[in-house]
């Protein structure tokens, strides 16, 4: 299995920087999701990895070997693009077999591998049909099967589910994960959808403005984001971000929604901070023993098993989720007393956007 | 004001029957969402009600008025489309007011009152004199909603109005729709493929599948009591778990996920499935009553930090949605962990040939041997 390493990789187009000093190791045999808004650099990085573009500086190593000068054909990377056009005049089988035939694989070998790939994405009974006889989802499955048929241990999936039906996305995500486990390859997966990123990822690489903001195991990145931008980009519903001020040199901060005691990390210090409060760090207050903050419900979104509640307090609208079972007691326009879960929300330095600590408890007044 | 009734309504495109003899009543003053996957026939049904599509058979009635043969403008119906259809050279208020000019019963003062009313409800005040071209798609769509409701037609139809709008504008539009509903009483039919939107906006949801309405119920009831496997699968993120049984040696049916057999309905095992939603499945590290041994196949972070855990139980996969871990985390279920899964049968539903059985699942009575 190839271990991929990007070393001080840069790419600029006529002076504008698309990628800036990318240093990254990718764990073999895992699924790494690259997430970030459009223009964050994730697609450029993949194009350089495939060999479609040369970097302006830096290099790419496979198992310590510099492959930067290698042409695309010699890199052995499978690629599943966003929309994969199938040849309309060929059967599904011939569409899948085509890249293998080009490589000159023996006939019997082709048949076995096409059938295996088709089974993985559950289109093995459709191999004799023409693309025009398939539904949208079946076509996408065929396209994915063709993408993974290449003999490679690295596969790039470029937003393969974008624009598909919600239910189809749900089942294809499951299929793709099974497929990755079965072929044991390294998958690099690009998406701008935060929930898809969390669902798919073993490892997460958060990109923004040509930089890697943060990279790591998905749970670690979600639970302990080192950078404010990570908290903003990773999570669904979106993380609540609001400004707060530290009171003098004390370990207390004051915000629109109350005062909190803060636990700073070693070396963490700041006067102007940002609080990142995930939806799950806000809970409806059950008792009034500790006077909670109160907001007003401006919108309820019913997701079935949970409800997303938008709560307005002062100038801030907070987002939280409550289990559907609790749904009946909340209505539009209602007062919504809430508490902040101790130990959950994260404190970032407002100027560097680096994590400096966590909220420990809500204080009175 | 009127209810909308369709009777044996049918529409066929070549060999494809898009709408299969639907008989249904859209109640007066209610918001009914037509929800279903692409290709289920929901848009064709809506377009026939609007008069934009001719039915091959059947009738459409607004109250007592048979409108089947009438063109759209004589039906007393307004419609909001996926893309806002606007007069690009006119301002926001002019766009809302223009359709009202066709109504001879309205004087200039009343016209202006209606425009002001919708502008206030939809919070379009700061845009009122702007040209439509200056607005983003979401705000334009708000104007389209305003223009439709200002006409105060008996029936207002919405065809996936949020599909092309970015997420923040979509929320604003949904909020505006809810606010509009507090002020205006019209019969509303709203087509969407988005279950969250339907569950958020609807008084009742008519779930469509392959040209038919398979179930109609208020959102919560539809979610909790699906009448078919299709409903259990289609609603929910992810949808329901479905388990297939084996005949149990002591009689009844044995499911992966249950430590005891269930009373067997009068049907073959291959037609029976047990459905349970992921949020009702519980996981425990230690043996618990009604728990069965399970292995954690994978775990992912889901909505609001919940963990979506995929378990392997016997030959089945069962998904469980569990609350976010506490701070600091103490109950993470790592991949490969051997655990116990509980599928509470009071939360489960039995399906026969895809349809819900009236009888709730129940434990097979202890065998005579055990009773002794």
Instruction: State the CATH number of the domain containing residue A278.
Output: 2.40.50.100
Cα–Cα dist A327/A324, whole Å: 5
Flag whether pLDDT at B307 surpasses 50. Answer: yes
Q: What is the pLDDT of residue B256?
A: 96
CB contact under 8 A, A167 and B304: no
φ and ψ at A232, to 5 degrees? -70, -40
Q: What is the pLDDT of residue A229?
A: 97
The answer as to whether A146 is a domain residue is: yes
Q: Residues B242-284: pLDDT tens digits?
A: 999 999 888 899 999 999 999 977 778 889 999 999 999 999 9
The answer as to whether A231 is a domain residue is: no
CB pairs A-B closer than 8 Å:
100
Q: Which of A299, A305, A332 sits opposite B171 (nearest CB)?
A: A299
Q: What is the pLDDT of residue A290?
A: 63
Question: B96 with B103: CB under 8 angstroms?
Answer: no
Hey, is the C-beta of B195 within 8 angstroms of any chain A C-beta?
yes
- Domain co-membership, A290 together with A206: no
Helix (H, G, I), strand (E, B) or coil at B176: helix
Cα–Cα dist A312/A320, whole Å: 11
The answer as to whether A170 is a domain residue is: yes
The answer as to whether A232 is a domain residue is: no
Hey, is the C-beta of B245 within 8 angstroms of any chain A C-beta?
no
Question: B360 with B369: CB under 8 angstroms?
Answer: no
Interface of chain A against chain B, CB under 8 Å? Answer: 135-136, 165-167, 170, 177, 195, 198-201, 218-219, 222-223, 235-237, 278-280, 298-306, 308, 310, 320-321, 323-324, 327, 332, 341-344
Q: Which of A165, A199, A308 sits opposite B37 (nearest CB)?
A: A165
Cα–Cα dist A236/A35, whole Å: 13
Flag whether pLDDT at B368 surpasses 60. Answer: no
CB contact under 8 A, B178 and A195: no
The whole-angstrom distance between B323's CA and the closest CA on chain A is 9
- Residues with Cβ within 8 Å of B304's Cβ and at least 6 positions away in sequence, in order, are A236, A237, A278, A279, A280, A306, A308, A320, A321, B324
* B234 chain-A contacts, CB cut-off 8 A: 167
CB contact under 8 A, B178 and A299: yes
- Domain co-membership, A182 together with A90: yes
Helix (H, G, I), strand (E, B) or coil at B58: strand
Q: What is the pLDDT of residue B370?
A: 45
Cα–Cα dist A229/B300, whole Å: 21
Domain B238-362 class? mainly beta
Strands (E), B307-348: 307-313, 316-322, 338-342
Flag whether pLDDT at B15 surpasses 60. Answer: yes
Q: Residues A170-225: pLDDT tens digits?
A: 988 998 999 899 889 999 999 989 999 999 999 999 999 999 999 999 999 999 99
Last residue of a domain, one of A185, A202, A225: A225
Candidates A16, A150, A134, A1; CA nearest to A62 is A1
Residue A21's domain comprises 4-225
* B37 chain-A contacts, CB cut-off 8 A: 165, 167
Comparing B275 with A169, which gets the higher pLDDT?
A: B275
Q: What is the pLDDT of residue A187?
A: 96
Cα–Cα dist B62/B44, whole Å: 18
The answer as to whether A80 is a domain residue is: yes
The pTM of the full predicted model, rounded to 2 decimals, is 0.91
Flag whether pLDDT at B170 surpasses 50. Answer: yes
Q: Residues A95-110: pLDDT tens digits?
A: 999 888 888 889 888 9
CB contact under 8 A, B304 and A177: no
CATH of span B4-233: 3.40.50.300
Hey, is the C-beta of B200 within 8 angstroms of any chain A C-beta?
yes
* Average pLDDT score, chain B: 92
For residue A304, how many other CB atoms are within 10 A of its CB?
A: 21
Q: Identify whether A237 is preceded by a cis peptide bond (ω within 30 of 0).
A: yes
Last residue of a domain, one of A191, A225, A259: A225
The whole-angstrom distance between A57's CA and the closest CA on chain B is 36
Q: Residues B78-114: pLDDT tens digits?
A: 999 998 888 888 999 999 999 898 888 888 999 999 9
- Domain co-membership, A173 together with A308: no
CB contact under 8 A, A166 and B194: yes
- Domain co-membership, A148 together with A284: no
Helix (H, G, I), strand (E, B) or coil at A253: strand
Hey, is the C-beta of B305 within 8 angstroms of any chain A C-beta?
yes
The answer as to whether A230 is a domain residue is: no
Comparing A82 with B232, which gets the higher pLDDT?
A: B232
Confidence of residue B372 (pLDDT cuts 50, 70, 90): very low
Cα–Cα dist A189/A177, whole Å: 11
Hey, is the C-beta of B42 within 8 angstroms of any chain A C-beta?
no
Q: How do A203-208 and A31-35 pair as beta strands?
A: parallel
Last residue of a domain, one of A178, A193, A225: A225
- Domain co-membership, A21 together with A146: yes
Cα–Cα dist B47/B2, whole Å: 18
Q: What is the pLDDT of residue A328?
A: 60
Candidates B191, B205, B181; CA nearest to B160 is B191
For residue A67, how many other CB atoms are within 10 A of its CB?
A: 19
Nearest residue in chain B measured CA to CA from A301:
B200
Q: What is the pLDDT of residue A105?
A: 87
Q: What is the pLDDT of residue B239?
A: 96
- Domain co-membership, A24 together with A164: yes
The whole-angstrom distance between B67's CA and the closest CA on chain A is 34
Candidates B139, B5, B152, B180; CA nearest to B78 is B152
- Domain co-membership, A220 together with A258: no
Token digits for A132?
């025009």
- Domain co-membership, A139 together with A259: no
The tally of domains found in chain A comes to 2
- Domain co-membership, A31 together with A94: yes
CB contact under 8 A, B301 and A165: no
Residue in A170, A191, A303, A328 to test binding to B, most B beta-carbons within 10 Å: A303
What mean pLDDT do residues B23-39 have?
A: 95
Confidence of residue A38 (pLDDT cuts 50, 70, 90): confident
* A180 chain-B contacts, CB cut-off 8 A: none
- Domain co-membership, A273 together with A344: yes
Highest mean pLDDT among A263-277, B168-182, B338-352: B338-352
* A342 chain-B contacts, CB cut-off 8 A: 327
The whole-angstrom distance between A60's CA and the closest CA on chain B is 30
Q: Where does chain B hold its CATH 2.40.50.140 domain(s)?
A: 238-362
Cα–Cα dist B207/B209, whole Å: 7
- Domain co-membership, A205 together with A253: no
Q: What is the pLDDT of residue B371?
A: 39
Residue in B301, B312, B323 to test binding to A, most A beta-carbons within 10 Å: B301
Cα–Cα dist A21/A41, whole Å: 12
A73-82, B213-222, B283-292, B352-361: least confident range? A73-82
Strands (E), B132-233: 155-159, 187-192, 204-209, 212-217
CB contact under 8 A, B234 and A167: yes
Strands (E), A192-342: 203-208, 211-217, 240-246, 252-255, 258-264, 272-277, 282-284, 293-302, 306-313, 316-323, 335-340
Q: Where does chain B hold its CATH 3.40.50.300 domain(s)?
A: 4-233
Confidence of residue A141 (pLDDT cuts 50, 70, 90): confident
The answer as to whether A59 is a domain residue is: yes
- Domain co-membership, A153 together with A248: no
Token digits for A61?
């190593």
The whole-angstrom distance between A7's CA and the closest CA on chain B is 30
CB contact under 8 A, B236 and A305: yes
CB contact under 8 A, B237 and A170: yes
The answer as to whether A39 is a domain residue is: yes
B4-8, B11-15, B247-251: least confident range? B247-251
Q: Residues A346-355: pLDDT tens digits?
A: 999 999 999 9
């Amino acid at each position: 299995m190839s271990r991929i390493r990007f070393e001080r990789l840069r790419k600029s187009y006529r002076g504008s920087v698309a990628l800036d000093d990318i240093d990254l190791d990718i764990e073999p045999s895992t699924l790494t999701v690259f997430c970030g808004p459009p223009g964050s650099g994730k697609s450029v990085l993949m194009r350089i990895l495939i060999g479609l573009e040369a970097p302006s500086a830096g290099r790419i190593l496979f198992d310590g070997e510099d492959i930067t000068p290698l042409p695309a054909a010699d890199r052995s990377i499978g690629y599943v693009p966003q929309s994969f056009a199938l040849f309309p005049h060929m059967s599904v089988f011939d569409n899948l077999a085509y890249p293998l035939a080009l490589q000159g694989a023996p006939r019997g070998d082709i048949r076995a591998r096409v059938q295996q790939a088709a089974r993985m994405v559950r289109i093995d009974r459709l191999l004799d049909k023409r693309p025009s006889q398939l539904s949208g989802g079946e076509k996408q499955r065929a396209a994915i099967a063709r993408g993974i048929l290449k003999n490679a241990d690295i596969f790039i999936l470029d937003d393969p589910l974008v624009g598909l039906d919600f239910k189809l996305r749900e089942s294809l995500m499951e299929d793709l994960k099974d497929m990755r486990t079965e072929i044991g390859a390294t998958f690099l997966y690009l998406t701008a959808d935060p929930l898809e990123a969390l669902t798919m990822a073993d490892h997460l690489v958060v990109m923004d403005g040509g930089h890697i903001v943060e990279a790591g195991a998905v749970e670690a990145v979600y639970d302990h984001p080192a950078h404010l931008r990570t908290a903003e980009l990773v999570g669904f519903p979106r993380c609540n971000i609001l400004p707060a001020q530290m009171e003098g040199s004390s370990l207390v901060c004051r915000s629109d929604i109350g005062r909190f005691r803060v636990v700073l990390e070693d070396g963490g210090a700041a006067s102007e901070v940002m609080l990142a409060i995930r939806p799950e760090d806000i809970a409806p207050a059950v008792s009034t023993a500790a006077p909670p903050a109160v907001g007003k419900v401006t919108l309820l979104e019913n997701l079935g098993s949970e409800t997303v509640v938008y709560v307005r307090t002062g100038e801030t609208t907070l987002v939280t989720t409550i289990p559907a079972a609790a749904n009946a007691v909340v209505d539009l326009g209602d007062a919504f007393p809430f508490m902040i879960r101790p130990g959950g929300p994260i404190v970032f330095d407002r100027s560097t956007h680096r994590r400096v600590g966590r909220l420990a408890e809500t204080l009175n007044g | 004001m009127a209810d909308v009734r369709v009777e044996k309504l049918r529409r066929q495109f070549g060999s494809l029957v898009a709408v299969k003899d639907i008989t249904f009543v859209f109640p007066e003053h209610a918001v009914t969402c037509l929800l279903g996957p692409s290709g289920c026939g929901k848009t064709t049904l809506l377009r026939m009600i609007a008069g934009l599509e001719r039915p091959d058979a059947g009738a459409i009635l607004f109250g007592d008025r048979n409108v089947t043969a009438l063109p759209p403008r004589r039906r007393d119906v307004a419609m909001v489309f996926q893309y806002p259809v606007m007069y690009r050279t006119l301002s926001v208020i002019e766009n809302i007011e223009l359709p009202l000019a066709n109504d001879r019963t309205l004087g200039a003062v009343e016209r202006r009152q209606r425009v002001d009313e919708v502008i206030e409800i939809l919070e379009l005040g700061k845009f009122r004199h702007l040209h439509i071209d200056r607005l983003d798609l979401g705000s334009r769509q708000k104007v389209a909603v305003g223009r439709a409701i200002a006409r105060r037609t008996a029936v207002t139809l919405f065809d996936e109005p949020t599909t092309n709008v970015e997420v923040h504008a979509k929320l604003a539009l949904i909020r505006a729709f809810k606010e509009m509903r507090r002020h205006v009483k019209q019969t509303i039919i709203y087509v969407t493929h988005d279950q969250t939107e339907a569950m958020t906006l609807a008084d009742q949801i008519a779930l469509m599948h392959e040209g038919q309405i398979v179930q109609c119920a208020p959102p919560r009831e539809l979610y909790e009591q699906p009448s078919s496997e299709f409903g259990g699968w289609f609603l929910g993120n992810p949808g329901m778990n479905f388990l297939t049984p084996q005949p149990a040696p002591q009689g009844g049916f044995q499911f992966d996920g249950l430590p005891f057999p269930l009373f067997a309905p009068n049907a073959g095992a291959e037609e029976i499935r047990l459905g349970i939603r992921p949020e009702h499945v519980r996981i425990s590290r230690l043996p618990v009553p009604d728990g069965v041994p399970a292995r954690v196949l994978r775990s992912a972070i889901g909505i609001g930090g919940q963990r979506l855990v995929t378990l392997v139980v016997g030959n089945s996969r069962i998904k469980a949605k569990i609350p976010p871990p506490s701070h600091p985390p103490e109950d993470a279920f790592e991949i490969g962990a051997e655990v116990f899964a509980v599928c509470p049968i009071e939360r489960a539903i039995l399906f026969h040939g895809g349809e819900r059985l009236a009888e709730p699942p129940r434990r097979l009575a202890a065998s005579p041997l055990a009773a002794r």
